[in-house]
């Protein structure tokens, strides 16, 4: 891309991998908005741990398996996806690009990946659905169960194929970048589109505040189980005992996640918790993982440790900030090509062909 300014032409080389999208996005974003996306809780120890956990693991490829080019498609909860990579739910896409979730959803549709739409999106779930992606809906169960039910019905009616209940947020994580920047509200004209309530008796519409409630318990999950026939995915599990409870309470899938290091700081990397959760669940429900996935080899490592698929959060936001829909598509294409290459080099025919013996116990660093 050439930028002609005051006579000088600066040439920017397009990102060739997911990590390179971050500085490119940073250059385009309001610094406070960049910090909102990039940041995590407090010392951001867990943010760093997520990527470091992938770096430490070593892959041990098999040779001469004659598998041909790998097939990347997977089926998760009855939904086929073009690769075992989903878009993790992230709030406020219009902060990254004026097209917001429209752009993300069109990119997901084009790429054939499942988009998990955030409840706190800046366009409505109906508008996202109209872009045609395979769609799941992320839900913060609200103490107002009537309102929660109305959100669930809207997600169902819009064609969402699963509800992703975020469990790791009984309170907001402490993001000090936000404190420093004084970033606590969306800019004028931007709001949580799913939270709009019609004003009664001629009054203005109101935007409901999201409640992250410490009162939430597995009883709320039982309530939700009775309320909807959609599959329920529990997001934000790190403890094997919680994974077992989730299965007992009828959850259909689990996302091993620490919310990208944005909730409780100093929790372990998601990848490092995956084997324990996989052990606890023993294949009873599919497992997803998010946090720090930046490379095709990272996807392979997560699959080897027991995940059925992974999700990416920030990389899609960086792609969105850099070039809207095309940027998200580019991020997905790069990751797809890397995954195909990594599977080929491992001698694996498909994501399902990735087994634990492709990893050894050696710490690379």
Ligand X SMILES: O=C(O)C(=O)c1ccccc1
Question: Would you tell me which residues interact with ligand FMN (CB under 6 A)?
Answer: 37, 50, 88-91, 118, 120, 138, 166, 235, 257, 259-260, 262, 290-293, 312-314
Distance CA 97, CA 223 (A): 37
Distance CA 17, CA 14 (A): 9
Q: Which does 172 bind (CB under 5 to 8 A by kind): ligand FMN, ligand X, none?
A: ligand X
HSE-CB of 151 using CA atoms within 13 angstroms = 32
**Are β-strands 163-166 and 134-139 bridged in parallel, bridged antiparallel, or unpaired?**
parallel
Please confirm, yes or no, whether 220 is among the known catalytic residues: no
In the complex, least distance from residue 264 CB atom to ligand X, rounded to whole angstroms: 12
**Element spanning 164, H or E:** strand 163-166
Stretch 163-222 residues interacting with ligand X (CB under 6 A) = 172, 210
Please identify, using beta-carbon distances, which residue of 129 and 233 lies nearer to ligand FMN: 233
Check binding of 32 to ligand X (CB under 6 A). Answer: no
User: From CA 219, how far away is CA 238, in angstroms rounded?
Assistant: 19
Of 33, 93, 220, 259, catalytic? 259
Contact 308, 286 (CB under 8 A): yes
User: Which CB sits closer to ligand X, 231 or 291?
Assistant: 291
Minimum Å distance from CB 29 to ligand FMN?
A: 11
Q: How far apart are CB 192 and ligand X at their closest, in Å? A: 8
Q: What residue 37 binds from ligand X, ligand FMN, none (CB within 5 to 8 A, per partner kind)?
A: ligand FMN
Please give the Cα distance from 181 to 94 (Å, whole number). Answer: 19
Residue number, 192 or 358, with CB nearest to ligand FMN: 192
Q: Does 120 bind ligand X (CB under 6 A)?
A: yes
**Which of positions 251-290 make contact with ligand X (CB under 6 A)?**
259, 262
Instruction: List the one residue from 72, 91, 128, 233 that touches ligand X (CB under 6 A).
Output: 91
* Interaction of residue 27 with ligand X, rule CB under 6 A: no
* Cα distances (angstroms) measured from residue 92 to each of 18, 98, 212, 336: 20, 11, 17, 25
Cα 332 to Cα 338: distance, rounded to the nearest angstrom = 10
Residues 6+ apart with CB under 8 A from 18: 294, 295, 312, 315, 318, 331, 334, 335
Judged by the rule CB under 6 A, the positions of this chain that interact with ligand X are: 91, 120, 172, 210, 259, 262
Catalytic machinery residues: 259
């Amino acid at each position: 891309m050439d930028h002609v300014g005051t006579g000088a032409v600066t040439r920017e080389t397009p990102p060739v991998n997911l990590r390179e999208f971050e500085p490119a996005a940073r250059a385009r974003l309001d610094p406070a908005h960049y910090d909102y996306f990039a940041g995590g809780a407090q010392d951001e120890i867990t943010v760093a741990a997520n990527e470091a956990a992938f770096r430490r693991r070593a892959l041990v490829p098999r040779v001469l398996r004659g598998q041909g080019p790998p097939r990347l498609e997977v089926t998760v909860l009855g939904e086929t996806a073009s690769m075992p990579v989903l878009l993790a739910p992230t709030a406020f896409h219009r902060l990254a690009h004026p097209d917001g979730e429209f752009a993300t959803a069109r990119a997901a549709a084009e790429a054939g990946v499942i988009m998990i739409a955030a409840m706190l999106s800046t366009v409505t779930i109906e508008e996202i659905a109209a872009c045609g992606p395979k769609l799941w809906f992320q839900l913060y169960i609200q103490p107002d169960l009537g309102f929660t039910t109305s959100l669930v019905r809207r997600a169902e009616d819009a064609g969402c194929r699963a509800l992703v209940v975020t469990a790791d947020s009984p309170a907001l994580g402490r993001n000090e970048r936000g404190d420093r920047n004084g970033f606590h509200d969306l800019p004028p004209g931007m709001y949580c589109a799913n939270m709009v309530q019609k004003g009664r008796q001629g009054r203005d519409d109101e935007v409901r505040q999201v409640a992250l409630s410490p009162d939430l318990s597995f009883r709320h999950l039982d309530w939700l189980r009775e309320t909807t026939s959609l599959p329920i995915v529990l997001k934000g599990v790190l403890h094997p005992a919680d994974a077992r409870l989730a299965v007992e309470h009828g959850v259909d899938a689990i996302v091993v996640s620490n919310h990208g290091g944005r909730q409780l700081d100093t929790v372990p990397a998601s990848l490092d918790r995956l084997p324990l959760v996989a052990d606890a669940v023993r294949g009873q429900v599919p497992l997803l993982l998010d946090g720090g996935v930046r490379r095709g080899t990272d996807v392979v490592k997560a699959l080897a440790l027991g995940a059925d698929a992974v999700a990416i959060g920030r990389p899609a936001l960086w792609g969105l900030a850099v070039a809207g829909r095309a940027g998200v598509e580019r991020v997905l294409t790069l990751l797809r090509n890397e995954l195909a290459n990594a599977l080929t080099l491992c001698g694996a025919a498909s994501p399902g062909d990735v087994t634990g013996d492709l990893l050894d116990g050696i710490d690379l660093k």
